[in-house]
Structure formats: C-alpha cells, structure tokens
Amino acid sequence: MTLTSRQPVTAVVKAFSFGGGVQSTAALVMAANGDLDYRTFLMANVGDDSEHPGTLRYLHQYAIPYAKAHGIDLVVLDRIMKRSKERRTLYEDLTRERSRSLKIPVRMSNGAPGTRSCTVSFKIKVIGDELKRRGATSERPATVGIGISLDEIGRANNRRCEPYERVEYPLLENGIRRIDCARIIRRAGLPVPPKSSCWFCPFHRPETWHDMRRDEPELFEKACQLEELLNRRRDELGKDHVWLTRFNRPLRKAIPDGVDTLPFDDDDPGCDSGWCMT
C-alpha cells in the first residue's frame, strides 16, 4: 500500500493510532474540527489481504480524502521485514509454505484463546518503527493517541506502553462514548465505518461470523479454508486442532447456514490493546 506521506520529521512527535474504525474516525473528524490536537494519524495496515475489505474501502473512499481535505497527514504503513526488506502481510504469515505461525489468537481445544502476537508484530512494532524514524526515543518519547472510548475504558487498563511513547486517550478524556463517535462522524457528512478488524480474527463474535456467512459468503468460505489449512499443519505436527471460534468445532459447523439469529454473546471482550477494532 502506498503511503500518503513519509517525510522526515524533526519536531516532537505526536500522532494518533488510526485503526480505521468508528473511534479513530471520530478522532480524525475532531482533529479536523480543531477539537483534538493531532495533525498526524498513523495506520498500521496488516495487509490488503488481511484487513476486512469494508475497512479498506472506507479508508480509500472516505478517510484518506477527508484527511487530505483538512490538512491532516494520514499515513498508511505496511510491515516491512528488516532483513529481506519485503512487505509481509498477516495472511501471508499464516499461509506461507511450511509456516508454523499462529500469530492470531486461535481458540485451543479447551476453548481458551492461544497466545497472540499479531497486534505486536503488525500494529505496535510497525507504528513504533515509524515513530522512531520520526525521532521518538526513550529520552524524547512520542505522544500517541489511542481511540478507546468511555464505554470501553477497561481496554485502556491493558494497554502496554513502549519506552519511546507516551500514550493518551483523548476520547476518554473528553467523555466520548462509541455512540457519540457515530454522531460526530455523521455530523461531518461521513458514513459511519464498519468495525475494523482482520476478516479472520478469532475475536469475532458469533453474530459477526453469522453476518459474514450471510452477507459475505466468499469471505466466510476463505476463513473456513484458513482454519482448515492451520489444522492440516497441526495434524502434520501431531498437535490438537485450533479454531476461529470458541465452540471447539469447525467454523462451518459452529456458524450454521440459514440461521437468522444467534444468542447474544457477551463473553468475548475482543482485542483489548486499543490498536485493533477502533
């Protein structure tokens, strides 16, 4: 993905972590209106084959043009491998030949989420490299805004702070909830974006998977095929199967076709880092 801007910066670094979802889009609008003191927004793109297509469509159709029109630098960053200098997406990491990577929080055979490193590798480090390129150090840390809203305050408590950054939560500080974010976006004449995430994220609620099966069957099928690929490799290694839901069975069976409603599921908090799904 082409960057909107990547010029050397010598001033004190201040940037907002842009996830492409409702909260960070509201922050973009507030910055454009002068309500937030951010002129740089950094988006770590996990890959055009990994981000949900709806997020990417919104990014190019609305967010980037809106930022440009209001003099805001919205920079989209890919993960670049340090040795080979090649771009690497999360989906490529999961599917490349002989890969044993399980960076996403797949559900183990007991239903518990496995260890995840996708947020660190494809979000935190990618933005961190850009902050440091712009001059952020442990002695002179960057100020980084995270788009956690008041109704998700628990996620802020789990946010790790890196030595080269000082984290702010401007939506929390302004008492803004997710529903307020939607109003802010609509008042700017923009449609409300879909919730941002990888299309294969195991933190999806059952309702999200169900909607995908009904409305985006090709994408749902691709998620099923990814789960099957991971488990073929698990078989080769003599390991238990893993799943994209907590139901301890294949996605095709866990999310049946033709079911109009599913029980509301409030057990999964989703990604608590503030880097994804905002």
Q: For 186-243, what is each residue's pLDDT tens digit?
A: 999 999 999 999 999 999 999 999 999 999 999 999 999 999 999 999 999 899 999 9
DSSP secondary structure, 107-132, as one string: B-TTS-B----HHIIIIIHHHHHHHH
Asked if the model's pLDDT at residue 1 lies above 50, the reply is: no
pLDDT band at 100 (very low <50, low <70, confident <90, very high): confident
Which domain does 132 fall in, by range?
14-80+117-195
SS3 (DSSP) at 37: coil
pLDDT tens digits for range 3-45: 444 444 445 799 999 999 999 999 999 999 999 999 999 999 9
Evaluate whether residue 252 is within a structural domain.
no
The structure tokens listed for 278 are 């905002």
Number of domains comprising the chain:
1
DSSP secondary structure, 75-106, as one string: EEE--B-TTT--B--HHHHHHSTT-----S--
Task: Give the amino acid at 31.
Answer: A
pLDDT band at 127 (very low <50, low <70, confident <90, very high): very high
CA-based nearest residue to 194, from 278, 122, 264: 278
pLDDT band at 259 (very low <50, low <70, confident <90, very high): low
**pLDDT higher at 126 or 84:** 126
pLDDT tens digits for range 54-95: 999 999 999 999 999 999 999 999 999 888 888 999 999 999
Evaluate whether residue 230 is within a structural domain.
no
Asked if the model's pLDDT at residue 250 lies above 50, the reply is: yes
- The radius of gyration computed from the CA coordinates of the chain, to the nearest angstrom, equals 19
pLDDT of residue 62: 98
Mean pLDDT across 240-252: 94
Evaluate whether residue 233 is within a structural domain.
no
Evaluate whether residue 202 is within a structural domain.
no
Asked if the model's pLDDT at residue 276 lies above 70, the reply is: no
Asked if the model's pLDDT at residue 98 lies above 70, the reply is: yes
Q: What number of helices (H) and strands (E) belong to the chain? A: 12, 5
pLDDT of residue 159: 60
pLDDT band at 156 (very low <50, low <70, confident <90, very high): confident
Mean pLDDT across 129-133: 95
**H or E segment to which residue 156 belongs:** helix 153-156
pLDDT of residue 185: 98
d(CA 189, CA 247): 40
Residues in the chain: 278
CA distances (Å), 88 to each of 81, 110, 170, 187, 214, in order? 7, 31, 31, 37, 30
Identify the CATH number of the domain in which residue 22 sits: 3.40.50.620
CA-based nearest residue to 95, from 48, 43, 49: 49
Evaluate whether residue 93 is within a structural domain.
no
